[in-house]
Structure 1
Amino acid sequence: MSIKDTNRALLTEGPAIILVEPQLGENIGMVARAMANFGLSELRLVRPRDGWPSEKARAAASRADHVIDAVTVYDDLPAALADLNFVFATTARERDGFKPVRGPVEAGRALRGRFVAGQKTGILFGRERFGLDNEEVGLADEIVTFPVNPAFASLNIAQAVLLMSYEWMKSGLENETDTAFKVPEVAPAPKELLQGLFDHLESALQVRGYFRPPQKKPKMVDNIRAVLTRAGFAESELKVLRGVVASLDYFSPKEPRGSGYPDRKAHADKAARAKVVDDSDPEPIDAGKGIDNG
């Protein structure tokens, strides 16, 4: 599913993503989509196998056109890295050498710090089949590797880019546990409304013989109240629950699926209104009283 909100500012900053000899246009497109998800926009390609531009890449990018349109292509890796101040190389294999090795969380924070300092940074990704060779890793400043299953360490290139893009985005949050949106804060309902629900539910259950044996009723009521008070219901939620309990008043065991509910409700409402009318008339009306027959 692709959702692009044109009413919000499009994030287009952060490290460049460099792909060395990517093979499939579809993979390039999925990389562009992953970048766009987390605010990255600069994609550099070194000798893409099938050339550039690529309609397959654009289709797979799923509306990340701003990334696809800005792609730059290089004949060799040194040229792709020439203007960058700092580069991470991604790899899942142990390497001989003296380069520092970081995990993705630490790498994301390091990239953020250099970005804030005004440095141009990049993350280097290798080929789909065998990644980066030692010479290419040697052109980077540090290595970033992912905590994957050592017996199955190969990641799809778009997955690897997604993981690093995510860590980049997360490193810029005020709190790394923040999310894009949250459930609105809802104030708990007044206790009198909760008590009304208790009373309504207890009455409905009593009529239906729920409290059996009778001597256990106090404990059963306590248990019900404990369940309902734990949630901290909002007023609108209590109204929903009251409506559910009220529907039991029209329930008929002979029609358990409620097929006759509208008719039964109309009948009950009519009876309730008639009772109100009867209660409001203290004396019966004498048909002959007060009538002038003359």
Structure 2
Amino acid sequence: MLDQLRVVLFRPKYPENIGSVARACLNMGVSDLVIVDPYNFNMDKALPLATAHARHVLETAPIVDTLEQAVDGCTAVYGTTARTGGWRKGIMNPDALAGVVDERLRGGGRVAVVFGPEDKGLTNEETSICSGLMTIPTSREGTSLNLAQAVVVVLYECFKRSLDAPFVPDGPPEERPTTVQEQATLFDNLQETLLAIDFLKDDNPDYWMLPVRRFFSKINLRRNEFNLLMGVCRQVKWFVNAYGPDKKNADK
């Protein structure tokens, strides 16, 4: 039911939590679990929390070195955070995230939801790979959630959406969604193009690109649309190189 949804645990600290997450994944129909650079992982400690039912989810979960490897092939990535403000804008709650995930999955994409280390969460650098961020509102008296608790809350909302609106093919297949890697290539190209036409300033262009990134995170960008935008960037940069101010000054 949620075959194209991936749960990514980034540098989890406790093997027991990993086992509990595997069980939560099974409960909500998710079998794609990826673990990134876990601290002191111990299968013997994790398995009892997974229970015999979710043993296969845990034992087949790949362990990789980097977040980029964990989200390889995904068309959208959403990170979880307890911190807000600063660069962390437009943060969704679990229900809103479930709606976005549902839309992406219906479009034929593969979506990853990333959960950071239990003690620190994801850094700004790690969230930069994400299409959007999500936080779980809690009482002020207890703002900290166990990792498996957070996973089951998010997956439950996604599972409810899949039950209310089952995935039924409708009409001819569309162009495939772009992968996260392709989106990163497009953002780099867009940034170069916007710098070339002086839309972005040289002082901290990454910051001024944030609204552009947030805009594209709302769009389930297809491969043909990716090709279109890459072509536009290529032509704009060619025009600037051929006829821009620097070229005119050089010809004088």
Q: What is the TM-score normalised by the length of structure 1?
A: 0.53
Say which of 31, 39, 44 aligns to 1:55. 44
Say which of 96, 99, 114 aligns to 1:124. 114
2:17 maps to 27
Q: Which runs of 4+ in 1 moved over 4 A?
A: none
Name stretches of at least 5 consecutive residues in structure 2 with no aligned partner: 167-252
> In the superposition, relative to structure 1, how do residues 98 and 147 fare at CA in structure 2: closer, same or farther (>3 Å)?
closer
Structure with larger Rg: 1
Higher relative contact order, chain-length normalized (CA < 8 Å, sep 6+): 2
1:20-48, CA deviations, whole angstroms, 9 ceiling, x for partnerless residues?
11111110000011111110111111101
Counterparts of 1:126-141 in structure 2, within 5 Å, are 126-141=116-131
Counterparts of 1:1-294 in structure 2, within 5 Å, are 13-51=3-41, 54-63=43-52, 64-97=54-87, 99-174=89-164
In 2, Cα distance between the equivalents of 1:149 and 1:116?
Answer: 33
Name stretches of at least 5 consecutive residues in structure 1 with no aligned partner: 1-10, 177-294
1:263-291, CA deviations, whole angstroms, 9 ceiling, x for partnerless residues?
xxxxxxxxxxxxxxxxxxxxxxxxxxxxx
The residue matched to 1:101 in structure 2 has which SS?
coil
The AA in structure 2 aligned to 1:145 is: T
The residue matched to 2:83 in structure 1 has which SS?
coil
Deviation at residue 98 of structure 1 after TM alignment: 6.0
In 2, Cα distance between the equivalents of 1:87 and 1:27?
Answer: 22
In 1, Cα distance between the equivalents of 2:2 and 2:45?
Answer: 23
1:191-228, CA deviations, whole angstroms, 9 ceiling, x for partnerless residues?
xxxxxxxxxxxxxxxxxxxxxxxxxxxxxxxxxxxxxx
CA RMSD, 1 decimal: 1.9
Q: Could you tell me whether the CA contact under 8 Å between 1:87 and 1:124 is conserved in 2?
A: yes
1:54-82, CA deviations, whole angstroms, 9 ceiling, x for partnerless residues?
12111110120221122011111122122
Q: What is the TM-score normalised by the length of structure 2?
A: 0.62
> In the superposition, relative to structure 1, how do residues 14 and 153 fare at CA in structure 2: closer, same or farther (>3 Å)?
farther
Percent identity of equivalent pairs: 33
The residue matched to 2:47 in structure 1 has which SS?
helix
